[in-house]
Structure 1
């Protein structure tokens, strides 16, 4: 299948002001699967103007949260109806594995899981925030007076998304924005622009008015126009810290609000009381997920030295069970990196680790049996130090850097915080209290805590703490908690009501 689109502006596809096209490749086969325009300055200005007009003249910003929620829920229903086509597109565009029983990243994280988040906003928008907070009536010279604090949409939002989870992140950013009553100009990454059009089409079919959602693909120059435009009020971006700095600088001239979810070099901290049995099960940790192309992966493993032998044997056993290849094969466990440029970066990073004294336990090269596609073997680097480049910088590939320490909690905390990033992390211990206390001292915005019991890790009771009698709805990724980073991992929060509030302004009204 192939997908070819023009621009999406003011509720419909329109021709671009150029014949130049961006070619989109399937990273598993290197075949062309579609094209989109390489937007010009004029194209971007048209999209901004459409969003500005839709915000300033309505009706979308003036509708009630309940009305917007009904349309967003219909959008979720449409995306669900189109799931087979979306699944095919996402696998082709990103190389995400399908997985057995729909548990691969293509569905569980990228497609069906992301649509569940849209549905949550549709169902809960009317009460997700206190849209109007009334004050106590007071007497005045002219009679009874009063006050209120109201939430209003923040304005025109530039949404700039990366290549790793494009469908999910497009929805995670633009849905809260339009739910708040804002209008959006979406710039998807030029490597993965196709699914943005399917989202825009679903929004239009659901009843989102023209101009509320616009799509303009392109490179860094398109982002520069969006982030510096005086007609844009808010910028939300996921990507590298380097690009985040550039966006902040562009936004400074008009003092626009920025929401940045940036890089990470997160640590999984194994505390000194963990058993050898558990150490043997750690394997590659998070870095197999979407070939390690995720900002939240715990790509540093802080391992007590006494557990080294057990861990090494466990990795060797796990390595033999990994199948690299076709993302559509439900037995595949590791798909491709997104492009040759990304694979080249991973190779260079691994080599820099070796040059600095780290040793390759397994992996460290391209698989010989795959002639096409941007594949790279899952890799574990042992004997790493915290000052190495591979321990400090995001690799964005299936590479785990192992740093050994003496098992002391204070040392573990020091090493976990020894980075400019602070996005995520994890702590494993045989004692919940100990793990929780360490987690509180890690300077990251999202930290998981796991407790080892008899050689296994317990995360939740049977039923996932959602069984009969508990009265809880099943958790949907992106709807609860507050996701975002400390330090150079970002500014602002996403998910649920915290992410929604980022796209609102507070206004104080008084009368007498």
Structure 2
């Protein structure tokens, strides 16, 4: 394919510069293994320059002191520019992340631009920026108070490889909406779209230093999370890295927003009929080749429904196509890199060694000579103490565990260090919600037999509500974040903007 996207400079203090860069990062298309672009490998001097630029822009620049209305106008321009560039952004994101088409439309690109539009359009009314008291009498006359939201300060945003454009926007734009200044470091495997975001910010006339974009590896992230000029770190990634960030941030007591790992469980209750279980398939666990922290990668089934599920899962392979994400009927794209595929293969070997039954998958597709592809993989008769049930695989592997009572299912679901997502499938809405309330996770979806969607042909594309004219959906409604070791803080909607603010009480009288 060739180098379609190459950037020889970083975006620091409103200008493009290569000063401080210590090399070049080559970006690989995970479906073809070809190099599609390059970016500078920022050194510590460049990281420090970006942080200092953000510090100056916050302490002395206009952005934190502009009105919410003025900031909203700039962010609306920002979103409009992204919208104009949608087709090019989609091509880029598919190439750098391996995202298949329906996922690019729903979340990775179109859905992400909808989030940017919503922030610019709704931030004035969605957040209560000021809370005032009625006036009261005092010894010196009238008295009262106001509680105001003010920006936290300089934000270090560090994002992963699985949903790069989505997570860059979900972190950067809420921080900008709050009046913060930002240094963004995308994952070194998927940095390209972050530079397109920088271009859009420049074209939207964001003041110098308000958004800075650098690229690099773990040493740059370590510098950002420990730097005394950084007030807050927002990070999405693994739980071990999240622990390291907490330790690095502790000496300066930085604000943290951490969205970490998951090993979410979906509980199918015993009132679900066999024919529905047979139709469930595996798509929701296989989305983005399993590279999603909130995917339900443990399926808890009543023992009497196991055979029906396995039979249906086998049939789902006829339409669950693994292939090039540019092909419209591909539903499972590649893993991001060879080292990620090797990681998945190690977990599959561990599952077999610990006694789980491999029903199908567990190998590389024979028909795909290039790309980091892996077959959808199903384990049954697993125990919850196995590695494949306790550890985050981040690949297309579903682990099925059977249970006998509702109480046992809830206990299994909660027997994890993680608490990010979960699901309940039931024939009764009230029962489903009662079970969901007992799952210790930040995001639990309840589906009844009449509403649950399992077959891809019934998804019907992006569906209503995803249009730019009426942005709703992922990243806009609800909140996202985890319990336990799945993280701290929340993203999405007005809660995501409020994470980047701190409250101040002003009194008079």
**TM-score band, normalised by the shorter chain?**
over 0.9
SS of the residue 1:253 aligns to: helix
Which of 425, 428, 440 does residue 428 from structure 1 map onto? 425
Contact 2:410 2:435 in 1 (8 A): yes
Q: Is it true that 1:17 corresponds to 2:20 in the alignment?
A: yes
SS of the residue 1:80 aligns to: helix
Q: How far is the alpha carbon of 1:207 from its aligned partner?
A: 1.9
Cα deviations by residue, 1:124-160 (Å, 9 ceiling, x for unpaired): 1111111111122233343323211111111000000
Match of 1:221 in 2: 219
Distance 1:278 1:456, change over 3 A: farther
Match of 2:114 in 1: 116
Which of 317, 334, 337 does residue 336 from structure 1 map onto? 334
Cα deviations by residue, 1:373-414 (Å, 9 ceiling, x for unpaired): 0000000011110000000001100110000111x2101100
Take 1:4 and 1:334, find their aligned partners in 2: how far apart are those partners?
27
Match of 1:201 in 2: 199
Match of 2:445 in 1: 448
Q: Unaligned regions of 5+ residues in structure 1, if any? A: 99-103
Q: Is it true that 1:486 corresponds to 2:483 in the alignment?
A: yes
Take 2:256 and 2:453, find their aligned partners in 1: how far apart are those partners?
42
Match of 1:133 in 2: 131
Take 2:175 and 2:401, find their aligned partners in 1: how far apart are those partners?
40
Contact 1:157 1:235 in 2 (8 A): yes
Match of 2:350 in 1: 352
Which of 79, 96, 101 does residue 99 from structure 2 map onto? 96
Take 2:90 and 2:203, find their aligned partners in 1: how far apart are those partners?
19
Take 1:179 and 1:299, find their aligned partners in 2: how far apart are those partners?
34
Q: How far is the alpha carbon of 1:454 from its aligned partner?
A: 10
Contact 1:267 1:300 in 2 (8 A): yes
What are the within-5 Å matches in structure 2 for residues 278-357 of structure 1? Answer: 278-357=276-355
Match of 1:415 in 2: 412
Distance 1:451 1:55, change over 3 A: same
SS of the residue 1:85 aligns to: helix
Q: Is it true that 1:3 corresponds to 2:5 in the alignment?
A: yes
Distance 1:363 1:15, change over 3 A: same
Match of 2:71 in 1: 68
Q: How far is the alpha carbon of 1:465 from its aligned partner?
A: 12
Take 1:442 and 1:120, find their aligned partners in 2: how far apart are those partners?
30
Higher mean Cα deviation, 395-404 or 320-329? Answer: 320-329
Q: Unaligned regions of 5+ residues in structure 2, if any? A: none
Contact 2:283 2:320 in 1 (8 A): no
Q: How far is the alpha carbon of 1:287 from its aligned partner?
A: 2.3
Take 2:138 and 2:313, find their aligned partners in 1: how far apart are those partners?
74
What are the within-5 Å matches in structure 2 for residues 451-462 of structure 1? Answer: 451-453=448-450
Take 2:429 and 2:148, find their aligned partners in 1: how far apart are those partners?
41
Match of 1:101 in 2: none
Cα deviations by residue, 1:418-442 (Å, 9 ceiling, x for unpaired): 1010000000111111111000000
Contact 2:264 2:298 in 1 (8 A): yes
Take 2:202 and 2:139, find their aligned partners in 1: how far apart are those partners?
51
Q: Is it true that 1:52 corresponds to 2:55 in the alignment?
A: yes
Cα deviations by residue, 1:84-143 (Å, 9 ceiling, x for unpaired): 110110011001112xxxxx1122210010010011111111111111111222333433
Contact 2:118 2:471 in 1 (8 A): no
Cα deviations by residue, 1:46-100 (Å, 9 ceiling, x for unpaired): 00010000000120001111111111111111111111110110011001112xx
Contact 1:278 1:455 in 2 (8 A): no
Q: How far is the alpha carbon of 1:369 from its aligned partner?
A: 1.2
Take 1:457 and 1:251, find their aligned partners in 2: how far apart are those partners?
42
Match of 1:401 in 2: 399
TM-score, length basis structure 1? 0.94
Distance 1:203 1:324, change over 3 A: same
Take 1:324 and 1:312, find their aligned partners in 2: how far apart are those partners?
19
Contact 1:466 1:474 in 2 (8 A): no
Take 1:334 and 1:275, find their aligned partners in 2: how far apart are those partners?
28
Q: How far is the alpha carbon of 1:333 from its aligned partner?
A: 1.5
Match of 1:38 in 2: 41
Take 1:324 and 1:92, find their aligned partners in 2: how far apart are those partners?
16
Match of 1:252 in 2: 250
Take 1:217 and 1:382, find their aligned partners in 2: how far apart are those partners?
41
SS of the residue 1:400 aligns to: strand
SS of the residue 2:42 aligns to: coil
Take 1:343 and 1:421, find their aligned partners in 2: how far apart are those partners?
23
Which of 80, 84, 101 does residue 81 from structure 1 map onto? 84
Take 2:169 and 2:162, find their aligned partners in 1: how far apart are those partners?
13
Take 1:456 and 1:367, find their aligned partners in 2: how far apart are those partners?
27
Take 1:11 and 1:241, find their aligned partners in 2: how far apart are those partners?
33
TM-score, length basis structure 2? 0.95
Q: How far is the alpha carbon of 1:457 from its aligned partner?
A: 8.0
Take 1:235 and 1:456, find their aligned partners in 2: how far apart are those partners?
37
Take 1:157 and 1:387, find their aligned partners in 2: how far apart are those partners?
38
Contact 1:450 1:457 in 2 (8 A): no
Match of 2:376 in 1: 378
Distance 1:476 1:34, change over 3 A: same
SS of the residue 1:313 aligns to: helix
CA RMSD of aligned residues (A): 1.9
Distance 1:110 1:474, change over 3 A: closer
Which of 101, 104, 107 does residue 106 from structure 1 map onto? 104
* Runs of 4+ residues deviating >3 angstroms: 453-458, 464-467
Take 1:438 and 1:379, find their aligned partners in 2: how far apart are those partners?
28
Cα deviations by residue, 1:175-223 (Å, 9 ceiling, x for unpaired): 1000000000001000000100101111111121110100111111111
